[in-house]
């Protein structure tokens, strides 16, 4: 979590940045993903933010993807956790539930 807080800080001037900031401070979505990945022995590889193809009418939705890898087994598939954040309002909100899947190395 320290990497998320200190390595990815930004001023939140764009919608994408606001989504990233909210995902770092919103303990519920990110913490559940981190705790599941850590219990599997995985560590954070990358965080990606991209415009969500699914969104409520008149909203500004972004998908945050947390990607984890196994540092002790490079042949093991990476695990991705995705959740959607709507940053249109002053206080961002998460939409739906966290989805996860494995991807090849």
Question: Tens-of-pLDDT digits for all 105 residues of the chain?
Answer: 566 666 667 778 899 999 988 887 775 667 778 788 888 899 989 889 999 999 989 999 999 999 999 999 988 999 999 999 999 998 899 898 889 999 987
pLDDT at 13: 85
pTM of the predicted protein model: 0.82
Using DSSP, state whether 86 is helix, strand or coil: strand
Specify the CATH number for the domain of residue 78: 3.10.450
pLDDT at 4: 63
Total number of domains constituting the chain: 1
pLDDT at 52: 96
| Domain containing residue 85 | 2-103
What are the C-alpha distances in Å from 39 to residues 32, 33, 34, 75, 76? Answer: 11, 10, 8, 18, 15
Burial class (CB in 10 A: 0-12, 13-18, 19+), 37: buried
pLDDT at 38: 84
């Amino acid at each position: 979590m320290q990497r998320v807080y200190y390595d990815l800080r930004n001023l939140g001037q764009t919608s994408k940045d606001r989504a990233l900031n909210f995902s770092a401070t919103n303990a519920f979505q990110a913490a559940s993903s981190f705790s599941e990945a850590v219990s599997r022995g995985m560590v954070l590889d990358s965080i990606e933010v991209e415009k969500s193809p699914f969104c409520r009418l008149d909203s500004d939705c972004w998908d945050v993807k947390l990607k984890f890898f196994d540092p002790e087994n490079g042949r093991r598939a990476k695990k991705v956790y995705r959740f959607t954040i709507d940053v249109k309002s002053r206080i961002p909100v998460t939409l739906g539930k966290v989805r996860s899947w494995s991807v090849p190395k």
